[in-house]
Structure 1
Amino acid sequence: MVKLLSFYQSNQLNAEPMSTKTLYLLPLFFFVFSGCKKNDTPPGEKEYRIQASITVDGLLRTYTVNLPPNYYESKDFSLVIAMHGGGGSGEQFESTSLLTKKADASGFIVVYPDGVKGDGALQARTWNAGACCDYAMTKNINDVNFIRQLITRLTGSYKINPKKVYATGHSNGGMLSYRLACEMADKVAAIAVSGCSMMVTQPCNASRSVPILHMHSERDTNVPVDGGFGTGPSGAYFHPLDSVFNVWSQKNVCTIPNQVATSNTKYTLRKWLGCNNSVTIEYYLTKDGGHAWPGGLPGSWLGDTPSTAISANDLLWEFFQRYQLP
């Protein structure tokens, strides 16, 4: 059974660049499989795509799981939790990031959870990353607990190695990834984020050193590299990325900070090395693109053109494969 999903996507309340634009309800449609858990599969047929829900803190939370083609012939799979930007959805992020194609080719499981819907006219989905964003923040939605419960359910239901669970996300989804690194380092082995800043409101007390891959465009005006108020509709103040990396460099006890590893006409790559437990911090700053998933598709009809200098999907998977929980 197929249903038609309509959504607007600023790709975040501080996601898709709005500069002189206003949030619109975009008539952009995606065909997706329906059902709380896909129950129209003929008996005996293998499932590779499952839509399901879980109740956490009294809220019904939804998500979509994609299993790679080799799932039933192998074991010990990695799990990548892929979180959309504010105003998006799991299905939208799957479509615009193209991450499922990478997951199928490389043989890892990916789950696309949905943020909570707001109570405004557009019912924009957001994540509570601390000081951002919108409904999830103002209502203090416990998204950290949601992701923790989701990991518990998925590792108990699928052939996932619990030491190989990773978080990624764009914009508001990337902000939540940073919060998970601070509060759930016992469950998440590494994070990879795009177009975001760290927005936690409490001291970051990560229980271990956390590997971090950050991708950003110098043209991003929604979440400016140097911090400040972006052009998006969130109204949030974003911390400068330099300060974010300084925090994590100290927490990871990196003895060789902020080294330029690559600098060319397309991007600059900086690394923080000599960190505890051989973790690294890697920061790709592209000269093209904007507030969009590098190597993917624009988050909406009004969205920025993604960078073509790097592929977020290739970089995050190469990065994640280096790390697992102790």
Structure 2
Amino acid sequence: MPSTLTTTRGSVTVAGATRTFTSVGTTAPGDAKPLILVFHGSGQTGDKHRAFTGGVFDALAARGALVAYLDGYRGNWNDARRESHFPARKADIDDVGFVRAVITTLAADRRIDPGRVYAVGYSNGGQMVFRLAHEAPDLLAGATVIAATMPAPENFLAHQEPRAPLPVLLVHGTKDPIVSYQGGTMNWALRTVFKAGGLTWSATRTARYFAERNGITTEPTTIRLPKQRTADRTEVERTTYEANGVPSVVLYTIHGGGHTVPGPSSSAPMVVGRTSHQLDTADLITQFFDL
């Protein structure tokens, strides 16, 4: 009999505050599952991000993982960017503590394997994943960042734990109107709307940075992937950094793609750019992390 997906609301207490999340998983019995932590973008909640992406990450739950859509504080994450001025940063919300508490709670009843926790972040949520990779690498078995690039060192306040090699998957559109593929700083209007700013690196420099953190010094290989849907005006290029004995770093460049999450469907408005249907982000995550 096929397993069905169940959706459950959960909460944890961190620094005296109640923090919430939505978990999605199957009813199938078995060993402890890998955990996928999903971090939404600015102004969203976990549930809103789930709708915004067309539920693309639910496919990971259907394949046997537990997917947890976490809720930021008043729509944002304390992402450690110096030039972030939204409430989560101004109030110095303990989002790293929130992540630890969620993992501990879900591991307590053996629903998940704490050694197989993967963070997936979009936009401001991607910045939060960057923070986790530096401040709490012990929590993660891998990281996926979509539509976000590394802050320049002078714009990044996260303290850094000793480097731990980490497989990193990056996805970014060349026509992203909010977070430029080329890096740099947001214009005045975007800084005002999102209450964030400061210098960020390009997507390619971000990929090289994480490769070097893993000890990869060789040049990457880049290939243009065949189009899966001819009517889709985006095209995809994959750049892979790899070396023997260390985790890989892969950057998927979505030529013509916007500030969106690639997948079979999406509710993203056109104002944030084109959503690529050439890729399914859930498939990328499944293959890259061997879930």
Taking structure 1 as the reference length, the TM-score comes to: 0.75
Indicate how the Cα distance of structure 1 residues 81 and 301 shifts in structure 2: closer, same or farther if over 3 A, else same: same
Contact 1:298 1:305 in 2 (8 A): no
Instruction: In structure 2, give the amino acid aligned to 1:90.
Output: G
Contact 1:179 1:198 in 2 (8 A): no
Indicate how the Cα distance of structure 1 residues 313 and 214 shifts in structure 2: closer, same or farther if over 3 A, else same: same
Instruction: Give 1:212 deviation, angstroms.
Output: 0.3
What is aligned with 2:184?
228
Alignment map for 1:1-326 (pairs within 5 Å):
48-70=6-28, 73-97=29-53, 98-117=55-74, 125-131=75-81, 132=84, 134-199=86-151, 200-202=156-158, 204-230=160-186, 232=190, 233-234=193-194, 235-237=196-198, 238-262=200-224, 266-274=235-243, 277-295=245-263, 296-300=265-269, 302-321=271-290
Q: Following the alignment from structure 1 to structure 2, what is the Cα–Cα distance between the partners of residues 167 and 83?
A: 8
Instruction: In structure 1, give the amino acid aligned to 2:276.
Output: S
Instruction: Give 1:155 deviation, angstroms.
Output: 1.1
Indicate how the Cα distance of structure 1 residues 202 and 114 shifts in structure 2: closer, same or farther if over 3 A, else same: closer
What is aligned with 2:232?
none
Indicate how the Cα distance of structure 1 residues 282 and 100 shifts in structure 2: closer, same or farther if over 3 A, else same: closer
User: How well do the aligned residues superpose, as a CA RMSD in angstroms?
Assistant: 2.2
Instruction: In structure 2, give the amino acid aligned to 1:129.
Output: D
Q: Following the alignment from structure 1 to structure 2, what is the Cα–Cα distance between the partners of residues 291 and 74?
A: 37
Contact 1:289 1:308 in 2 (8 A): no
Q: Following the alignment from structure 1 to structure 2, what is the Cα–Cα distance between the partners of residues 287 and 256?
A: 25
Residues 97-136 of structure 1, C-alpha deviations (whole Å, 9 max, x = no match): 213530243111100110001xxxxxxx100111146221
After TM superposition, the runs of 4+ consecutive aligned structure 1 residues lying more than 6 A away are none
Instruction: Give 1:175 deviation, angstroms.
Output: 1.0
- Give 3-state SS (helix, strand or coil) of 1:229's partner: coil
Residues 135-170 of structure 1, C-alpha deviations (whole Å, 9 max, x = no match): 212222121111111111111134211111100011
What is aligned with 2:231?
none
Taking structure 2 as the reference length, the TM-score comes to: 0.84
Report sequence identity in percent.
25
- Give 3-state SS (helix, strand or coil) of 2:102's partner: helix
Contact 2:136 2:161 in 1 (8 A): no
Residues 257-312 of structure 1, C-alpha deviations (whole Å, 9 max, x = no match): 3321445671111111116x430000000113300111141335754331122111
Deviating more after overlay: 203-212 vs 104-113: 203-212
Q: Following the alignment from structure 2 to structure 1, what is the Cα–Cα distance between the partners of residues 260 and 18?
A: 29
5+ long unaligned stretches in structure 1:
1-45, 118-124
Instruction: Give 1:67 deviation, angstroms.
Output: 1.5
Residues 72-100 of structure 1, C-alpha deviations (whole Å, 9 max, x = no match): x2223111001100101100111222135
Q: Following the alignment from structure 1 to structure 2, what is the Cα–Cα distance between the partners of residues 270 and 47?
A: 34
